[in-house]
Chains A and B, each alone.
Chain A
Amino acid sequence: MNIFEILKELKNIKPDQEYAKQSRYLILSQTPVNKKITVAEIFDWISIHRLATAASLIGVFILLVVLSVSYLPGNKNSLVAEADEINASIKIKLNDMGYQLQNPAEININEIPNIQKNLEEVTKLMKEAQILSENNKDKNMGEYLEKIKAAQALLTEIESLLVK
């Protein structure tokens, strides 16, 4: 007797099709039971949605900054080109984060306080950068670049903290 051959043959065991059909129908007619929500989970939920709001807010700032940068005179200036590049990278990071925020199950809940703190800092930096670009654009370009570079670095840090 070849025991392995026989064991392999047991893969042909199949449930009765009529039973399978009926069982499937009965199971799917039930509603999944939601797990009991704890206070901690409610706070987690709020934190996640705050993150989403913060990210959207930053998105608006980015859009404004990007728009203002594209209207700067002398776009051939290397500093402006660098600013464009950083802004594009920030936009990509924000898009990725927006996508990750749609799947809260994949988010590292434990890091939410740090993520939120960093996001607030990014928002602040981008707001300052926007003000700089609106006022004396040419003169403030160096400082503007520093702000957006700092924001970019913080977003990189947030990305690594965000996902489990």
Chain B
Amino acid sequence: MIEEQQKLIKEAIAGKSAPFGLLYDHYQPIVYRFIYLKVSHREEAEDLTHQVFLSAWQNISGFKIKKEASFIGWLYQIARNKVIDHYRTKKPTVDIDNIADPPEIGKSNEETADFRIEIKMVKKAIPLLNEIEQDVVIMRFVEDLTSKEVAEILEKSEGAIRLIQHRAIKKLQNILKQ
């Protein structure tokens, strides 16, 4: 799988669009979720995700494969910059009611009305964390990456990641208690 991905990345760097299309299919939902949970707005998340992949494709020749997590790390980096630029031009407005316009959530047995409300509350709370806490919470607990993978992507030590995640979860719990 990793070798296959590396091959696709190399071909995309060579300017082939079909391999980049396959990379898009694989990583686009991940990047979309990452942005959506930060901006809490579906259309804005769609627009920013589009910009991330457009930027990645236009600058793919400058991408250097360093390690396994480097491509998704690179995409996350572009996404973070796009979100920051987005907030520079527009004041962040976490509109609680706007979250009533949710993206598709898979139907699980536990999706009772209460559970839906809790999901909505957590989604509303994530943008209240600081940037790095948001990144760690999304990568560790939504995307289920290991501390090591998150550390590689965010270029921090595993210890630092554990510390941030501990602080972020505590903060989330406090926000939700209020």
Residues of chain A touching chain B, judged by Cβ–Cβ distance below 8 Å, are 1, 3-16, 19-20, 23-24, 26-28, 30-35, 103, 105
Contacts and interface: CB of A to CB of B under 8 A. Distances in A.
Given A23-B49, A34-B61, A105-B64, A7 B122 contact: yes
28 contacts: A3-B173, A6-B122, A8-B141, A8-B142, A10-B37, A10-B122, A11-B144, A12-B104, A12-B106, A13-B33, A13-B105, A15-B28, A15-B49, A20-B28, A20-B32, A23-B50, A23-B53, A24-B28, A24-B53, A28-B21, A30-B57, A30-B58, A32-B15, A32-B60, A35-B61, A35-B62, A105-B64, A105-B65
B interface secondary structure, majority: helix
Interface of B: 10, 13, 15, 17, 20-21, 24-25, 28-29, 32-33, 36-37, 42, 45-46, 49-50, 53-54, 57-62, 64-65, 102-106, 108, 110, 115, 118-119, 121-123, 137, 141-144, 169, 172-173, 176
A13 B36 contact: yes
Given A14-B32, A15-B28, A27-B57, A7 B137 contact: yes
Given A3-B176, A9-B119, A30-B58, A15 B144 contact: no
B61 A14 contact: no
Contact of A33 (B20, B49, B59): B59
Nearest to B140: A7
Contacts of A32: 15, 57-61
Contacts of A7: 122, 137, 141-142
A16 B32 CA distance: 10
Given A9-B108, A35-B61, 8 more contacts: A6-B115, A10-B33, A11-B143, A12-B108, A14-B103, A24-B28, A32-B60, A35-B59
Contact of A9 (B28, B58, B105, B169): B105
Contact of A30 (B13, B54, B64): B54
